Amino acid sequence: MQELLNNIVAELALETERGKVADYIPQLAHVDPHQFAISLATVDGQRYSAGCATTPFSIQSISKVFTLTIALGKWGDGLWSQVGREPSGDPFNSIVQLEHEGGKPRNPFINAGAIAIVDAIMMGHEPKETLAEILSFVRYIADDNSICFDHQVAASEMQHKDRNASLAHFMKAFGRLRHDVDKVLGTYFHQCAIAMSCDQLAHAGLFLASDGVNQPSNLRVVSPQRARRINSLMMMCGHYDASGEFAFRVGLPGKSGVGGGILAIAPGRGSLAVWSPGLDKYGNSLLGTRALEMFVQHTGWSVFGH
Ligand SMILES: NC(=O)CC[C@H](N)C(=O)O
């Protein structure tokens, strides 16, 4: 396994076409696109990594997996009256479906859905309290108390919030948000600005690979049914309008972020994190996807078989 990860890193290091770093969040535009990392945490306790796997990066939309997990813990199936669970087929920041569908976002992983999820988690609390809850959950599943928010990234996104603010105000106009729009947005931007390394992220995703049980602590995070359902949402919606392409090429539940990270779950086997900051035109990591495709080709770990 270690050799495979080393080979992937070595092969992709030669790649000159590395995609384009997200620049609509100016703080992310400064990131060096030549960095690359891959980590694997297996359900039987093995850890493998290659490249700069301990370098923290902005997890961005990967955080939506963690907030969805928290929101399901609070609302159970009641969450599905607030956000849908169908692929959108539209870009992550699209507004078009919201008007047709009464302000109810298609799924928890597009921006509108994630904003509705954070509103559902707040339950009358202030952003500070909600953020403390999100961070402590992430630290718990990663078993690492050093994980923090990157406040500069959050501030940078706040300064360029127009698109997300439009989504939030539009939902508010439909009576879909309970809290003040700026408070919801501030919480959402900080959640996206959590900084984690591939090693930490692979560890954090492990409960989804092992029927909801955190490893190696053996503590249950969610029920097996909930882990399976979160995985299904990652498969269908985790890469926005390129979710079909990701399923076709990689065949694992996965969630990308515009920081260039991808968390991919091989149920019963392990949790994979990759990071390469350059993005494709859908906002998903170009070489990160390639790395996962190579990994699956060699291991046969796709949920669809060899
Ligand atoms: N796809 C992403 O990672 C988008 C997250 C980013 N924070 C945004 O709201 O635009």
**Known catalytic residue at 184:** no
**Residue 7 assigned ligand-binding role:** no
Fold: same for 2-60+195-299 and 63-192: yes
At 216 the pLDDT is 83
164 lines ligand 1 (CB under 6 A): yes
**Known catalytic residue at 161:** no
**Residue 164 assigned ligand-binding role:** yes
At 215 the pLDDT is 84
d(CA 237, CA 256): 10
**Known catalytic residue at 258:** yes
At 297 the pLDDT is 97
Instruction: Write the single-letter amino acid at 33.
Output: P
In what order do the strands lie in the sheet containing 261-266? 47-51, 37-42, 270-275, 261-266, 254-256
**Residue 157 assigned ligand-binding role:** yes
Q: Tell me which residue has its CA closest to atom 8 in ligand 1.
A: 111
Beta strands in 47-189 (DSSP E): 47-51, 57-58, 148-149
Cis amide linkage into residue 87, ω under 30° from 0: no
At 70 the pLDDT is 98
Q: Packing angle between helix 111-122 and helix 162-173, nearest 10 degrees?
A: 60
The torsion angles phi and psi of 254, rounded to 5 degrees, stand at -145, 150
Instruction: Tell the CATH superfamily of the 2-60+195-299 domain.
Output: DD-peptidase/beta-lactamase superfamily (3.40.710.10)
Residue reference for tokens 């409960």: 207
| Backbone conformation region of residue 208, classed left if phi is above 0, alpha if psi is from -120 to 50, else beta | alpha
39 lines ligand 1 (CB under 6 A): no
d(CA 115, CA 241): 18
pLDDT at 179 exceeding the cut of 90: yes
d(CA 22, CA 118): 23
d(CA 88, CA 7): 35
Question: pLDDT tens digit string along 268-296?
Answer: 999 999 999 999 999 999 999 999 999 99
The torsion angles phi and psi of 249, rounded to 5 degrees, stand at -85, -40
At 306 the pLDDT is 86
pTM for the model: 0.98
Q: Are 130 and 108 in contact (CB under 8 A)?
A: no
Q: Of 284, 194, 299, 201, nearest to 246 (Cα)?
A: 284
Instruction: Compute the distance from residue 153 Cα to the ligand 1 centre, in Å.
Output: 11
Question: pLDDT tens digit string along 83-132?
Answer: 999 999 999 999 999 999 999 999 999 999 999 999 999 999 999 999 99
Instruction: Compute the distance from residue 218 Cα to the ligand 1 centre, in Å.
Output: 32
Query: Hey, what CATH class is 63-192 in?
Result: alpha beta
111 lines ligand 1 (CB under 6 A): yes
Q: Are 157 and 85 in contact (CB under 8 A)?
A: no
Question: pLDDT tens digit string along 211-252?
Answer: 999 988 899 999 999 999 999 999 999 999 999 999 999 999
Which residue among 90, 93, 158 is best mutated to probe the pocket of ligand 1, counting the most ligand atoms within 8 A of its Cβ? Answer: 93
156 lines ligand 1 (CB under 6 A): no
Domain ranges of the chain: 2-60+195-299, 63-192
Question: pLDDT tens digit string along 10-63?
Answer: 999 999 999 999 999 999 999 999 999 999 999 999 999 999 999 999 999 999
Largest CA distance in the chain: 54
State which ligand 1 atom lies nearest to the alpha carbon of 24: 10
At 239 the pLDDT is 98
d(CA 141, CA 239): 23
**Known catalytic residue at 64:** yes
CA torsion 185→23→147→45, rounded to 10°? 120
